[in-house]
Structure 1
Amino acid sequence: MVLILGALVLMAVDNRNAAALAPVRTIATMMVYPLLYSVDFPQRAYQRSSGFFSAQSQLSEENLVLKQEVQVYSAQQQDLNVVQAENQRLRAMLNAAPRDGYTFSMAEVLQVAQDPVRGLVTLNKGSRDGVKESQVVLDGNNIYGQVVTVTPFDSTVMQLIDREHSIPVQNQRTGERGLADGYGRGMPMEIKNLAALSTVKEGDVFISSGLGGLFPAGFQVAKVFRVEFKQGNMTILAMPLVDYEAVREVLLVWKKAGGEVDAR
């Protein structure tokens, strides 16, 4: 305190005789500076710390905003990935399916019947999408089944493996015609009604024959894996070419009439 007062006195006298007291003034200033610095230190420390915490708070807020934006962009990217994957699957299925005379629309399998011997599934498209009873359903170039019931918002499809389903078929190699009957999920199909002198063999592929007018001709149905002869009777077992446990999207088929697409 004494040093401060002395410095003030010297400053007052300094106005009268500045040149003579210059060295004394310098020494007094050097002696008083630490005290002045210590007195001012809390204020400067507060300003610096408040600025630091303010900057940290601002950085935290900006970081939170950036994290939220990253989550939004991540969700949008996930949606884009799903759409791209669906488009790729649709292109693959359409490239496999014959296009002449037909038009297609993809549908998603929503539900599978719990009955192990039935092959019934529910699709996410119905009459408002133009779906009709007895409409053919494909998995690429393979026949998946046919629509059996329709509501405005969904439809039920009977797969070829259903125990109540039968489809006219033709041996792609020999041209022999018969019927392919289903026996339930996880079971092979049986090719029936072939000629007694049939030359069918393992590896033969049966396609839809087009007889009956329901299923278009030329679509793959099943591949023979066993030919048995018992007491003069021939049993032909074939595996469907659709992996019914794995397929999640199918193609609904509309046949063009006179060059135009049937109304949907």
Structure 2
Amino acid sequence: MVLLLGALTLMAVDYRHSESLRPIRTVSLMLVYPVLVSVDSPHRFYNRTVGFFSSQTQLALENTALKEQIQTYAAQQRVLSSVQQENAHLRAMLNAAPSDSYTFGLAEILEAANDRVRGLMLLNKGANDGVHESQVVLSGENIYGQIVNVTPFSSKVLQLIDRNHTIPVRNQRTGERALASGMGRGQPLEIRNLPGSSDVKEGDIFVSSGLGGLYPPGFPVAKVIPQGVEFKQGAPSATVKAAPLVNYEATRDVLLIWRKPGIPEPQPLPAPEPKNASDATSDRDTKKDSQQTNESKPETPVRQSGGGR
């Protein structure tokens, strides 16, 4: 009974003053982390064992498919490198700041929340691995969520489906900007702030718009579901439902993003200022007087040697 009252008290305090209990949550995660790793170890051991005893034929087929993908990606990388060089040249001509670059790291999910409203996951990467709060997390090429709590050995990620999460998005087809808010586990995202005259249709893909500076632009977020667009008579905005492109129930590995801001190239030094008119006139007069002096000098006769009388 005492433990139950204490738990309820902590839940109430955490709901009212979440920042005051941040140290307690951090210590608790550090203490529970070894238990979570030990619980997850059988699953990882099973996956590695199954992979080790895979048939030779399956491995050969996978190897062939991977080689084809490598060749495809190599060709795409050549095209991308050419486009990047052209982009950098255009930015230099326009004197614009260079675009940001990104590095990625793989992380495993150790614990999944069963709450139907909240969407929180525990990862096996923490501050010792360079993870920080508000860091973006991907699942493949799709946005998974963001880091909200970090300990030395683990971190918690807030999924897009969480009811406390909102991300600025853009319709990939029309370019219209909106906000995508989570509605809970198993529910589609709600696309808000679209005008009633919007041209949104079933099957439209919404990507991150990049507004706010947290999420990089252009990463897929959600797809409008069938019968997910509703226009109410006289309503100022449309009601749109879009399914997230991440399978949160089956995802085991995610990608962490580290942003590297673009560093502007050094600008050339400014040209020296031209001399004023009086200095220029004085220089011309001096040069003219020097030429006249040289012309007025008599030529020195040249003595010839040799010759007999």
Q: Normalising by structure 2, what TM-score?
A: 0.53
- Encode CA deviations 1:84-123: one digit per residue, 9 max, x unaligned: 99xx8xx99xx7xx99811100000000112111110000
In the alignment, the residues of structure 1 paired with residue 135 and residue 155 of structure 2 have an alpha-carbon distance, to the nearest angstrom, of 10
Deviation at 1:127? Answer: 0.2
Question: Which segments of 5 or more consecutive residues in structure 2 lack a partner in the other structure?
Answer: 1-45, 54-58, 74-79, 82-99, 264-309
Instruction: Show structure 1 runs of 4+ deviating over 3 A.
Output: 79-82
The AA in structure 1 aligned to 2:254 is V
Task: Report what 1:214 is aligned to.
Answer: 214
In the alignment, the residues of structure 2 paired with residue 135 and residue 149 of structure 1 have an alpha-carbon distance, to the nearest angstrom, of 10
In the alignment, the residues of structure 2 paired with residue 196 and residue 140 of structure 1 have an alpha-carbon distance, to the nearest angstrom, of 33
Alignment of 1:170-209 (within 5 A): 170-209=170-209
Task: Report what 2:52 is aligned to.
Answer: 81
Root mean square deviation, CA, Å? 2.7
Task: Report what 1:227 is aligned to.
Answer: 229
Task: Report what 2:155 is aligned to.
Answer: 155
In the alignment, the residues of structure 1 paired with residue 146 and residue 171 of structure 2 have an alpha-carbon distance, to the nearest angstrom, of 21
The AA in structure 2 aligned to 1:111 is E
1:238 aligns with 2:275: no
Q: Rg bigger for which structure?
A: 1
Find 2:257's aligned residue among 244, 253, 256: 253
In the alignment, the residues of structure 2 paired with residue 106 and residue 79 of structure 1 have an alpha-carbon distance, to the nearest angstrom, of 21
Alignment of 1:99-110 (within 5 A): 101-110=101-110
In the alignment, the residues of structure 2 paired with residue 110 and residue 192 of structure 1 have an alpha-carbon distance, to the nearest angstrom, of 32
CA contact (8 A) 2:125 2:131 kept: yes
Task: Report what 2:136 is aligned to.
Answer: 136
Q: Normalising by structure 1, what TM-score?
A: 0.61
After superposition, the Cα gap between the structure-2 partners of 1:196 and 1:133, relative to the gap in structure 1 and judged at 3 Å, is same
Question: Which segments of 5 or more consecutive residues in structure 1 lack a partner in the other structure?
Answer: 1-74, 260-264
- Encode CA deviations 1:134-189: one digit per residue, 9 max, x unaligned: 00000111000000000000000000000000000000000000000001110000
Task: Report what 2:116 is aligned to.
Answer: 116
CA contact (8 A) 2:196 2:231 kept: no
The AA in structure 1 aligned to 2:110 is L
In the alignment, the residues of structure 1 paired with residue 123 and residue 104 of structure 2 have an alpha-carbon distance, to the nearest angstrom, of 15
Task: Report what 1:31 is aligned to.
Answer: none
Give me the identity figure in percent: 62
Higher fraction of strand: 1
Alignment of 1:4-153 (within 5 A): 78=49, 81=52, 101-153=101-153
CA contact (8 A) 2:136 2:147 kept: yes
Q: Secondary structure at the match of 1:230?
A: coil
In the alignment, the residues of structure 2 paired with residue 221 and residue 253 of structure 1 have an alpha-carbon distance, to the nearest angstrom, of 16
